[in-house]
Amino acid sequence: MQEKSVIITAGGLGKRMKSAFPKQFILLGNKPLLMQTIELFYEFDPPIEIILALPKDWVSYWKELQVEYNFKIPHTIVLGGEERFHTVQNALEKCTGKVIAVHDGVRPFVSQTLLKLCFDSLQQNSAVIPVLSIKESVRFLSGNKTEALDRNHYKLVHTPQCFKAALLKKAYQTSFQEGMTDDASVVGLIGPEPFLVKSNEENIKITTSSDLAIAAALLPFS
């Protein structure tokens, strides 16, 4: 059995990017964005078990990219599902680690410090998620009315979200429900409150062309 597994979710088509192909394959620097993300986990722990979820129709293209860029980091490919929930369900069937992280394939700037903090925190906790405080003012919209909220009561949630394997696998035995937007929301139905750790500011999720421009600016500092 592996000590650590990571599920890298790249099963979507990235329609918000308005690109000819999924955002995870867009070039960032001198290689596809997804390769940048995988390399971070391999650098952190070379023996880590990497489970990569991809859209069914793009698996062959990914394999071509591996040849083109001489990408040889070991990983297992699974197919993405209808929702992120189903993608993670598929990937969990291949995970053998005692602890499992789930990370967005389009977050290529998670720091090594944060990876260590997340996994180390699992020694005392069953669920660990990285978050950032909100800097801007926040308002709640209801119909034609809005209400100012106290931003100190809210956090921005990032990945990797890390769990004891038994807990995560048990949580994903349920059926999909609206509102299951991340793994912590699934685990929260059966498990303890997640332990929150501070994410790194650069750990952005690249979903739009504007995000890609920010990523290009961040690249020299990663």
Tell me what the mean pLDDT of segment 74-97 comes to. 94
Give the residue with greater pLDDT, 208 vs 117. 117
Whole-angstrom distance, CA of residue 185 vs CA of residue 87:
15
Tell me what the mean pLDDT of segment 170-197 comes to. 91
This prediction has a pTM of: 0.93
Tokens of 172: 């994903």
Tell me what the mean pLDDT of segment 96-120 comes to. 97
Tell me what the mean pLDDT of segment 195-213 comes to. 93
Using one digit for the tens of pLDDT, what is the confidence trace for 140-174? 898 889 999 899 999 999 999 999 999 999 999 99
Tokens of 53: 């979820």
**CA dihedral defined by 189, 130, 95, 55, rounded to 10 degrees?**
90
Preceding peptide of 55 cis, ω within 30°: no
Mean pLDDT: which of 102-106, 174-178, 218-222 is highest? 102-106
Using one digit for the tens of pLDDT, what is the confidence trace for 7-62? 999 976 655 445 567 889 999 989 999 999 999 999 999 999 999 999 999 999 99
Whole-angstrom distance, CA of residue 37 vs CA of residue 219:
12
3-state SS record for the chain: CCCEEEEEECCCCCHHHCCCCCHHHCEECCEEHHHHHHHHHHHHCCCCEEEEEECHHHHHHHHHHHHHCCCCCCCEEEECCCCHHHHHHHHHCCCCCCEEEEEECCCCCCCHHHHHHHHHHCCCCCEEEEEEECCCCEEEEECCEEEEECHHHCEEECCCEEEEHHHHHHHCCCCCCCCCCCHHHHHCCCCCCCEEEECCCCCCCCCCHHHHHHHHHHHHHC
- Pairing type for strands 99-104 and 161-164 reads antiparallel
The b/e string for 16-27 (b: 16+ C-beta within 10 A; e otherwise) is ebeeeebbbbbe
Mean pLDDT (the chain) is: 92
Tell me what the mean pLDDT of segment 86-91 comes to. 95
pLDDT at 17: 47
> Is the pLDDT score of 63 beyond 90?
yes
Tell me what the mean pLDDT of segment 178-201 comes to. 92
